[in-house]
Amino acid sequence: MNDFWKRFSRNRSAVLGLLILCLVIFVASIASLIYPDDPFLYSKYPLSKPGENGFFLGSDSIGRDVASGIAHGAKTSLLIGLIATLAAVLIGVIFGALAGYYGGLVDDILMRVTEVFQTIPSFIFAILLVAIIKPSIESVVIAITVVSWPAVARLVRGEFLALKNREFVQACHTLGMSDYRIMLKEMLPNCLSPIIVIGSLMVATAILIESGLAFLGLGDPNVMSWGFQISDGRSMLRVAWWICTFPGIAILITVLAINLVGEGLNDALNPRLRERN
């Protein structure tokens, strides 16, 4: 663990990313403390500039506090990113592990199913899914999960294919170990590093998809989100730039931070890259 941290901290930008990410998480967790009111609550001061009338980042066309929206939106974004990623990783690992381990017909069937999902452009697929189910937090999570698990399945399948013929796995067979145990206890720990890396990068993508959906009006109408704020402020862009800009910056730095952390994890966990340094 110490060793891991040493390698991770060698990558300066990854540490910076981690700091920003921690800040975002911190803001999200104290959102209800610093802005105890509903972010949808409107005041009598529409279109206040940043700093005016007690609005730190200004207010929008009907007087909602932009800063409050960003803080509460951070909670939404991170939560959706995390849950959707966990679900996608779970499904992907199950599909990939079974396909890679059993091979043959099982592999053929599971991988053709995976390919069906991969052939549909992911964002359009997500829009379609949310439009069919009614827009809500759950439907957004489901949509993001459905479009992002195939990548994990592909990755895990490759890792399992390579591990399957390693001698230590064969040794487990000769001991009479069950398939389930070999996959879970012997093979899976050996491909955790790439799964962690792809998972961390998927959180960033999930946040982008969520914002995109909210921008198109397909987010949960009762939950504040960055995409919703941008969508709401875009018609005012020329008179009140701050409504769109600050949520946009929030998305930008959060996604950037997560990507930097993901890169750092990749450098620290990937043994092939490690040799190069």
Size of the site for another protein (CB under 8 A): 21
Q: DSSP assignment, residue 190?
A: G
Q: Which residues pair with 59 in a beta bridge?
A: 65
Q: Which CB sits closer to another protein, 36 or 275?
A: 275
**CB-based burial of residue 123 (10 Å sphere; 0-12 exposed, 13-18 middle, 19+ buried)?**
middle
Closer by beta carbon to another protein, 7 or else 64: 7
Task: Give the x-and-dash track for 157-196 against another protein (CB under 8 A).
Answer: ---------xxx-xxxxxxxxx------xx--xx------
Tokens of 187: 């093979």
Q: How far is the CB of 162 from another protein (least distance, A)?
A: 11
- 101-130: which residues touch another protein (CB under 8 A)? 104-105, 108-109, 112
Q: For residues 200-229, which are near another protein according to CB under 8 A?
A: none
User: What's the CA gap between 113 and 268, in Å, rounded?
Assistant: 33
Beta carbon of residue 173, minimum distance to another protein (angstroms, whole number): 6
The tokens for 176 are 């009479």
Least CB distance from residue 188 to another protein, whole Å?
9
Binding to another protein in span 85-104, by CB under 8 A: 104
Question: Is residue 180 classed exposed, middle or buried when 0-12, 13-18 and 19+ CB atoms within 10 A define those classes?
Answer: exposed
Q: Least distance from C-beta 90 to another protein, angstroms?
A: 20
Instruction: Pick between residue 18 and residue 155 the one whose CB is nearest to another protein.
Output: 155
The distance from CA 67 to its chain's CA centroid, rounded to whole angstroms, is: 22
Cα separations in angstroms, 160 against 25, 103, 247: 34, 10, 41
Binding site for another protein (CB under 8 A): 104-105, 108-109, 112, 166-168, 170-178, 185-186, 189-190
